[in-house]
Amino acid sequence: MSDSTTVYQVTGMTCGHCESAVTEEISALAGVTSVKAVAATGRVTVTAAAPLDDEAIRAAVDEAGYELTGRA
């Protein structure tokens, strides 16, 4: 089974701390194997063992204090 990778657009990230906060929240979701947040572009690349529910990602991003605006 191959991993599923999705790129999301997140608003509000401005620095490395922001990237860490988003990465930490999304990494806590079951099945997530990799998260790469880039504040400069607002993109968050999530790799997981299976396709993730966008709402679960949205909730994690919200918990970190940012807004998921959709898939990039």
Tens digit of each residue's pLDDT, the chain (72 residues): 578 999 999 999 999 999 999 999 999 999 999 999 999 999 999 999 988 899 999 999 999 999 999 998
| Model pLDDT, residue 1 | 57
DSSP assigned state of 42: T
How large a percentage of the chain has pLDDT more than 90?
A: 90
- Cβ neighbors of 66 (< 8 A, separation 6 or more) are 10, 11, 12, 13, 18, 21, 22
> The domain 4-71 is classified under which CATH number: 3.30.300.210, 3.40.50.10320, 3.20.20.70, 3.30.70.100?
3.30.70.100
pTM: 0.94
